[in-house]
Amino acid sequence: MTTILEASAIAGLIADGATVVSDGFTMMGVADEILASIEQSFQATGHPRDLTWVHSAGQSNRRDGLARMAHPGLLKRVVGSHWGLNPAMGQLLGGDEIEAVCLPQGQLTTLFRTIAAGRPGQLSTVGLGTFVDPRLDGGRLNDRTRQALPADHYVSVIEVAGREFLFYKAFALDVAIIRGTQIDPEGNLSQSDDATHLDALAIAQAVHNAGGRVIAQVKAQVGHGEIRARDVMVPGVLVDYAVICSEPQAFHRPSDSYPPGSRELILGYVGPDEFATAIATNQTVAPARLAIGRRALALIRPGDVINLGTGIPGDVIGVALGEAGILDQVHLTVESGTYGGIPLGGVDFGAALHPQAIIPHAQQFDFYNGGGVDITFMGVGQVDQYGNVNVSKLGHNATGCGGFMDIVDGAKRICFLMASDSTHPKYVDQVSHLTFNGQAALAKGRAVFLVTEFYTLEFVALGWRLVDHLPTQEAKQALGRIPFPIITDTKKVDSHDR
């Protein structure tokens, strides 16, 4: 039987040194009231402390969610994929204040099911030749972690039938923190108001099967039979404790960046007129940024299954497709599990306006890992002449790889989107953190492109090749800022010759 508790009682259920796993994607599915109560308890009493915190996706909006956990002493170690919207955590991890392990988002979401099933781990090509490969760093992001853990603590290399794989190892989970919309007297949990189907069931099963505690935050308690069996996301047998949210009206509040009424999250189909209105009202995208998306459309083919990464891709590709009137000719997807619609950006990344379908998080990555994506559009932190890309660790802050590695590993065509000029130069002699291995991608037969507002490059065996560019002086100047030779007309051309 599920026990209903006040949020203030939850911290007492978490032992010092426990391994806690939480659900969420940006702020979708995040049990923020429970996280706030844990933070308050630590600040007042110093407990719980020395926790290992595990999460598959980024779970913050820069101030809430896992940003509340960014305290040395509260955390001993973080095992996660992304902290781009959690600068407080990124500073702690990059500053060597707590142990930091970055594993690909898709491998973590799948690993929760692996742990639940009692399997020792899972095999994947995702991460080979990158910082996740134990021959490089095994996902360890700072010196504190390198001193505490061997490189193969979470990931090892295994050869099967003459092929190399990374073996992502199962590990014990003690406490699960999940969120739902409603809970009935038997503890059955629905997520009917959520924009995604994430990892709640898998992590509840994993923790339950290990004898741990599953804690849920819910919007409301309802009576017997008020949740249809088909609508139960987590069966009551798996839920030990629940907290009824004190502010249900804030449960799914759109971010402040979207004007009321014009960008309301719609969980279903609308007609062409309403859809056109949604596109027309989405003019928060800066013209220079949108120009990148417009140029990238040249790489899209009718019928393509497309994945969009966070940042520029999530902000511009859906709008550019809608503006061009060809959105209905492709299948637009986001790693959270959405299909169709206009993906939202920023702290609402993972949701979409007027999606056609929403499938579970883990199954989306199964599809991606298996080669279901025709073309993916990804952002860039650093790119070098060898075709390598860094999105995971920039300067002293840890950003993490998110689902990037899983998606580029399976996608047939990979396109990086970036502005041609920025405060922090994108082009470098050699990337400082290896998130994407260009030569390895070519060896797998992948086509790799880079698009800015002025030009398009393709990575080939000899280096970056100029595909096309705008016939303007501004475009010529942008090409001249590339600090290494590129190929034009089969010849390498230095920047001073462009």
Return the domain boundaries, the chain. 3-245, 272-497
Identify how many contiguous H helices and E strands the chain contains and give both numbers.
Answer: 12, 30
Q: What was the pLDDT predicted at 490?
A: 47
Pick the more confident residue, 406 or 342.
406
Q: What was the pLDDT predicted at 262?
A: 36
Please return the burial class of 272, using the count of CB atoms within 10 Å of its CB with bins 0-12, 13-18 and 19+.
exposed
| Of residues 298, 295, 331, 290, the one with CA closest to residue 314 | 290
Q: Is the pLDDT of residue 494 over 50?
A: no
Q: What was the pLDDT predicted at 158?
A: 97
Q: What was the pLDDT predicted at 174?
A: 98
Which DSSP helix (H) or strand (E) runs through 323?
Answer: helix 312-324
Assign 269 a pLDDT band (cuts: 50, 70, 90).
low
Answer for the pair 330, 269: CB distance below 8 angstroms, yes or no: no
Tell me how far CA of residue 84 lies from CA of 62, 260, 385, 436, in angstroms. 8, 26, 25, 17
Question: According to the CATH classification, is domain 3-245 in 3.40.1080.10?
Answer: yes
Q: Is the pLDDT of residue 43 over 90?
A: yes
Pick the more confident residue, 438 or 270.
438
Q: Is the pLDDT of residue 267 over 60?
A: no
Beta strands in 330-481 (DSSP E): 331-333, 338-339, 342-343, 352-353, 357-358, 375-378, 382-383, 389-390, 393-394, 397-398, 413-417, 447-451, 455-460, 463-469
Answer for the pair 413, 449: CB distance below 8 angstroms, yes or no: yes
Pick the more confident residue, 347 or 493.
347
Domain 3-245 shares a fold with domain 272-497: yes
For 67-98, the pLDDT digits (tens) are 999 999 999 999 999 999 999 999 999 999 99
Assign 224 a pLDDT band (cuts: 50, 70, 90).
very high
Q: In percent, how much of the chain has pLDDT > 90?
A: 76
Task: Report the alpha-carbon distance of residue 364 to residue 370 in Å, rounded.
Answer: 10
Secondary structure class of 42 (helix, strand, coil): helix
Q: Are strands 486-488 and 397-398 parallel, antiparallel or unpaired?
A: unpaired
Task: Report the alpha-carbon distance of residue 198 to residue 339 in Å, rounded.
Answer: 15
Task: Report the alpha-carbon distance of residue 314 to residue 329 in Å, rounded.
Answer: 18
| Of residues 164, 159, 201, 150, the one with CA closest to residue 180 | 201
Q: Tell me what the mean pLDDT of segment 185-202 comes to.
A: 92
Single-letter amino acid code for the residue at 423:
T
Q: Is the pLDDT of residue 497 over 70?
A: no
Q: What was the pLDDT predicted at 6?
A: 94
Q: Is the pLDDT of residue 260 over 70?
A: no
Which DSSP helix (H) or strand (E) runs through 147?
Answer: helix 143-148
Assign 248 a pLDDT band (cuts: 50, 70, 90).
low
Which residue(s) pair with 216 in the sheet?
178, 242
For 117-161, the pLDDT digits (tens) are 999 999 999 999 999 999 999 999 999 999 999 999 999 999 999
Q: Tell me what the pLDDT averaged over the chain comes to.
A: 90
Query: Token pair 């230095």 is at which residue?
Result: 494
Q: Where is average pLDDT lowest: 68-72, 342-346, 373-377, 474-478? A: 342-346
Task: Report the alpha-carbon distance of residue 362 to residue 358 in Å, rounded.
Answer: 12
Helix axes 312-324, 287-296, angle to 10 degrees: 70
Task: Report the alpha-carbon distance of residue 232 to residue 192 in Å, rounded.
Answer: 9
Answer for the pair 20, 259: CB distance below 8 angstroms, yes or no: no
Assign 340 a pLDDT band (cuts: 50, 70, 90).
confident
Q: Tell me what the mean pLDDT of segment 362-388 comes to.
A: 96
Answer for the pair 449, 411: CB distance below 8 angstroms, yes or no: no
Q: Tell me what the mean pLDDT of segment 16-29 comes to.
A: 96
Q: What was the pLDDT predicted at 321?
A: 87
Q: Residue 255 carries which DSSP code?
A: P
Q: Is the pLDDT of residue 5 over 80?
A: yes
Q: Tell me what the mean pLDDT of segment 367-393 comes to.
A: 95
Q: What was the pLDDT predicted at 436?
A: 96
Q: 274: left (phi > 0), else alpha (psi -120 to 50), else beta?
A: alpha
| Of residues 67, 25, 90, 102, the one with CA closest to residue 314 | 25
Q: Is the pLDDT of residue 362 over 60?
A: yes
Main-chain phi, psi angles of 274, to 5 degrees: -65, -35
Q: Tell me what the mean pLDDT of segment 356-379 comes to.
A: 95
For 281-338, the pLDDT digits (tens) are 555 678 888 999 999 999 999 999 999 988 899 888 888 888 888 888 999 999 999 9
Tokens of 332: 């637009």
Task: Report the alpha-carbon distance of residue 316 to residue 199 in Å, rounded.
Answer: 28
Task: Report the alpha-carbon distance of residue 217 to residue 250 in Å, rounded.
Answer: 13
* Domain spanning 272-497, CATH class: alpha beta
Whole-structure pTM over 0.95, yes or no?
no
The 10 Å Cβ neighbour count of residue 256 is 9
Q: Tell me what the mean pLDDT of segment 434-448 comes to.
A: 95
Q: Is the pLDDT of residue 163 over 60?
A: yes
| Of residues 261, 255, 295, the one with CA closest to residue 278 | 261
The 10 Å Cβ neighbour count of residue 113 is 19
